[in-house]
Homo-oligomer: A and B are copies of this chain.
Amino acid sequence: MSEVLPFHAQHLKAACSNCSVLELCLPIGLNGAEVERLDTLIVQRVKVKKGTALYRTGDPLRSLYAVRIGSFKTSMLSVDGREQVTGFHIPGEMLGLDAISADEHACNAFALEDSEVCPIHFAHLEKLAQNLPSLQHNLNRLLSREIVRDHSMLMLMGNMNSDERLAAFLLNLSQRLSIRGYSSKDFVLKMRREEIGSYLGLRLETICRGIAHLRDQGLVEISGRNVRIQNMDGLKQLLAGCHRSPR
Asked if A106 is at the interface (CB within 8 A of a chain B CB), the reply is yes
Chain A 140-157 interface mask (CB, 8 Å, partner B; 1/0): 110111111011111101
Q: Find the B residue at minimum CB distance from A140.
A: B100
Given contacts A76-B151, A101-B145, contact A126 B130 (CB under 8 A): no
Q: How many copies does the complex hold?
A: 2
Residues of A within 8 Å of B, CB-based: how many?
Answer: 47
Residues of the B chain whose Cβ atoms lie less than 8 Å from the Cβ of A243: 78, 80, 82
Asked if A137 is at the interface (CB within 8 A of a chain B CB), the reply is yes
Asked if A51 is at the interface (CB within 8 A of a chain B CB), the reply is no
Residues of the B chain whose Cβ atoms lie less than 8 Å from the Cβ of A148: 98, 101-102, 106
Q: Find the B residue at minimum CB distance from A244.
A: B82
Asked if A79 is at the interface (CB within 8 A of a chain B CB), the reply is yes
Asked if A240 is at the interface (CB within 8 A of a chain B CB), the reply is yes
Q: Find the B residue at minimum CB distance from A77.
A: B155
13 A-B contact pairs sorted by A residue (CB < 8 Å): A78-B159, A78-B243, A84-B151, A101-B144, A101-B145, A106-B148, A126-B133, A126-B136, A126-B137, A129-B136, A140-B140, A143-B147, A157-B157
Sort A-B residue pairs by CB-CB distance and give the 9 closest, nearest first: A150-B150, A100-B144, A143-B143, A101-B144, A157-B157, A158-B201, A101-B145, A84-B155, A98-B147
Q: A82-B159, A136-B136 are in contact. List 20 more A-B contacts (CB 8 A).
A: A78-B242, A78-B243, A79-B241, A79-B242, A80-B241, A80-B243, A84-B158, A97-B144, A98-B148, A98-B151, A100-B140, A101-B147, A101-B148, A102-B145, A102-B148, A107-B151, A126-B136, A140-B140, A150-B151, A157-B157
